[in-house]
């Protein structure tokens, strides 16, 4: 699948192929994260009304978790802008079920995450978790992430340049039932981006969780978790190898985690 790009630096003209009235945006890096500012730029090219409901602090790694044991505090931060003391999924719930209950958003955008969200790592991702929560609440939802290289500046301009055009094209017409979309932008300058590819999730780079044991200044032990990543064997049409080649990848994600092969095998054993 090949999609041509036009840099999205001006407000969307009336003749653009996709338009919606109201967009809700969130993220997992926190309301002050630079990626959220990039996402706001993208959203304002797509809709006249943009609502920002984002975590008050970094909530990376929270997946689709919601706060059932603690109250949520909602702090106004400006016009249609709110910080929530909770997870990205909490923010979507607050946005759709409280702040925008009378006028639900046409689209939910989550990101732009600092770092790609690939393969099985998406189960931990708060960015993807927010989009999955939007899917559960019946709203079109998209997660967006910008790949970067450790020690190098994040190429936010790549997501900023291409984000609105990609969303317009995939959001026009019928929306695939029962899915949210996971978009990853490659770690290349905007002019070097290759055609968009529809991809499968694949294995990704995650290969473990490391537990680091240390002591604080008072001599008490604590443990710090760190995700371990390394190249893994993956299908050619999976998002990780395609992203590495410079493509923007779009992966449809759903809730059904049933392993079809194992389902048949277990059924045969019981028979």
Would you list which residues are annotated within the binding site? 28-29, 60, 113
CB 145 within 8 A of CB 251: no
As annotated, the binding site for a divalent metal cation includes 28-29, 60, 113
Domains of the chain: 22-203+233-270 (3.40.1210.10)
pLDDT of residue 2: 33
Residue 187 scores a pLDDT above 90? yes
- Residue 230 above 90 pLDDT? no
pLDDT band of residue 228 (cuts 50, 70, 90) is confident
Could you give the 3-state DSSP secondary structure of residue 121?
helix
* pLDDT tier for residue 4 given thresholds of 50, 70 and 90: very low
> Is pLDDT above 70 for 102?
yes
Say what the pLDDT of residue 18 is.
Answer: 64
What sign does the dihedral 231-205-2-159 (CA atoms) show? negative
Q: Comparing C-alpha atoms, which of 118, 125, 75 is closest to residue 206?
A: 118
Which region, left, alpha or beta, applies to residue 80 given φ > 0 means left and ψ of -120 to 50 means alpha?
A: left
Which residues, in sequence order, are bridge partners of residue 180?
A: 253
Mean pLDDT across 201-225: 89
pLDDT tens-digit series, residues 12-43? 443 345 669 999 999 999 999 999 999 999 99
Which residues touch 253 (CB under 8 Å, ≥6 apart)? 122, 128, 131, 132, 179, 180, 181, 182, 201
Kindly state the average pLDDT of the residues 235-252. 96
pLDDT tier at 10, thresholds 50, 70, 90: very low
pLDDT at 100 over 80: yes
pLDDT at residue 93 greater than cutoff 70: yes
pLDDT of residue 59: 96
**Among residues of the chain, what percentage have pLDDT more than 70?**
93
Q: What is the mean pLDDT of residues 78-106?
A: 98
At residue 152 the predicted structure's pLDDT band, cuts being 50, 70 and 90, is very high
Residue for token pair 């490391």: 210
Note the pLDDT tens digit of each residue in 42-73. Answer: 999 999 999 999 999 999 999 999 999 999 99
Structure tokens at 28: 């997992």
The pLDDT value given to residue 7: 34
Tell me which range, 94-103, 166-175, 197-206, is most confidently predicted by mean pLDDT. Answer: 94-103
Closest CA to 56 of 67, 44, 43, 69: 67
**pLDDT of amino acid 107:** 97
* Mean pLDDT, residues 184-199 taken together: 97
pLDDT at 77 over 90: yes
Where residue 54 falls (left for φ over 0; alpha for ψ -120 to 50; beta otherwise) is beta
Confidence tier at 113 by pLDDT (50, 70, 90): very high
């Amino acid at each position: 699948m090949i999609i041509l790009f036009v840099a999205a630096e001006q407000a969307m003209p009336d003749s653009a192929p996709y338009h919606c009235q109201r967009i809700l945006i969130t993220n997992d890096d926190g309301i002050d994260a630079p990626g959220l500012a990039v996402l706001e730029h993208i959203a304002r090219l797509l809709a006249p009304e943009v609502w920002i409901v984002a975590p008050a602090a970094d909530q990376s790694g929270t997946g689709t978790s919601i706060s059932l044991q603690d109250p949520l505090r909602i702090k106004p931060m400006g016009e249609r802008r709110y910080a929530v003391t909770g997870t990205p999924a909490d923010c979507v719930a607050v946005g759709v079920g409280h702040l925008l209950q009378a006028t639900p958003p046409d689209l939910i955008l989550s990101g732009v995450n600092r770092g790609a969200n690939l393969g099985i790592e998406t189960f931990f991702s708060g960015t993807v978790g927010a989009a999955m929560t939007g899917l559960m609440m019946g709203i079109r939802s998209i997660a967006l992430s910008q790949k970067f290289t450790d020690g190098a500046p994040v190429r936010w301009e790549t997501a900023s340049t291409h984000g609105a055009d990609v969303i317009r094209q995939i959001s026009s017409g019928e929306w695939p039932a029962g899915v949210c979309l996971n978009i990853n932008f490659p770690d290349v300058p905007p002019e070097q981006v290759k055609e968009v590819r529809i991809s499968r999730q694949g294995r990704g780079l995650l290969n473990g969780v490391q537990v680091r044991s240390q002591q604080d200044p008072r001599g008490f032990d604590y443990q710090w978790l760190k995700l371990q990543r390394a190249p893994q064997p993956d299908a050619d049409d999976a998002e990780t190898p395609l992203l590495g080649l410079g493509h923007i990848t779009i992966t449809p994600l759903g809730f059904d985690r049933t392993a079809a092969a194992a389902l048949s095998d277990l059924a045969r054993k019981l028979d």
